[in-house]
Amino acid sequence: MTVLILGGTAEARDLAAQLHERDVEVISSLAGRVTRPRLPVGAVRIGGFGGVEGLTAWLRENRIQAVVDATHPFAERIGANAFHAAHAAKVPLLRLARPGWQPAGADRWHWAADLEEAAALLPGLGARAFLTSGRQGLAAFADLDPLWFLIRCVDPPDQPLPRRHEVVLDRGPFRLDGERALMTEHDIDVLVTKDSGGAMTAAKLTAARELGLPVVVVRRPPRPAGAETADVAAAVEWVLKR
């Protein structure tokens, strides 16, 4: 059988490796938004499919027998396209999604529906923000002139940006001691993040808790209802039963 993994996450790479070990032919698809992506084992394609119609045709032409959507929790468009294309091509689809983060102990979390709402919350929470929501969508914060931003992302961020800012280009996993030192060095008094989940970037939440900082957390966008798991081993078993 041939399986398409919509990837770009650690879970997708793990799944590709485990299926490869079981002699399952895997094609991993990456969006191509990161300059130097971490590549999984097996065949890799980079770039879009051309919407629902393009993905539907691609599934049929390549005789794909199963699709696993293991994209980032905020990859909303490809998630919706995959759902509708798999249905149209009559190909089973599984969503592999890591669990979201949950506040604990002395956490001071403020939930936001999107980046615009997160930006609206900031002036009442702090003056020096650590912005870790990725390089896209930063225009939502561009008009907050009184605030200063430390912006961290993998590749140089899109314009426009806040007037007062510093950019740090880095890629996880991040360690607690490093996150704590970074926030202290820059006098950060509020953290902004998306609810990405997973351990690779969770240390910033622990550091914010230890430093007593408020955290603005952007909720995940909704995904179409369907088969879903948070466990890579369960995803392997699902594929093998197709």
Could you give the number of structural domains in the chain?
2
Residue 169 sits at the vertex; the CA angle it makes with 145 and 156, to the nearest 5 degrees, is 70
> pTM of whole model > 0.95?
no
| Separation CA 187–CA 102 (nearest Å) | 25
Report the side by side order of strands in the sheet with 25-30. 43-46, 25-30, 2-6, 66-69, 93-96, 228-229
Residues 159, 200 share a domain:
yes
Residues 137, 71 share a domain:
no
| 8 Å CB contact between 197 and 218 | no
Residues 112, 213 share a domain:
yes
CATH number of 161's domain: 3.40.50
Question: Cα dist. 184→98, 150, 196, 207 in Å?
Answer: 29, 12, 23, 10
The pLDDT tens digits along the chain (242 residues) read: 899 999 999 999 999 999 999 999 999 999 877 777 889 999 999 999 999 999 999 999 999 999 999 999 999 899 999 999 999 999 999 999 999 999 988 899 999 999 999 999 999 999 999 999 998 899 999 999 999 999 999 999 988 999 999 999 999 999 999 999 999 999 999 999 999 999 999 999 999 999 999 999 999 999 898 999 999 999 999 999 98
Residues 214, 117 share a domain:
yes
In this predicted structure, what is the pLDDT of residue 194?
Answer: 97
| Separation CA 187–CA 192 (nearest Å) | 14
| Separation CA 173–CA 181 (nearest Å) | 15
Residues 126, 195 share a domain:
yes
Residue 181 is part of which domain span? Answer: 108-218
Residues 154, 199 share a domain:
yes
Residues 212, 233 share a domain:
no
Give the Cβ contact number of residue 81 at 10 Å.
Answer: 22
One-letter identity of residue 241 = K
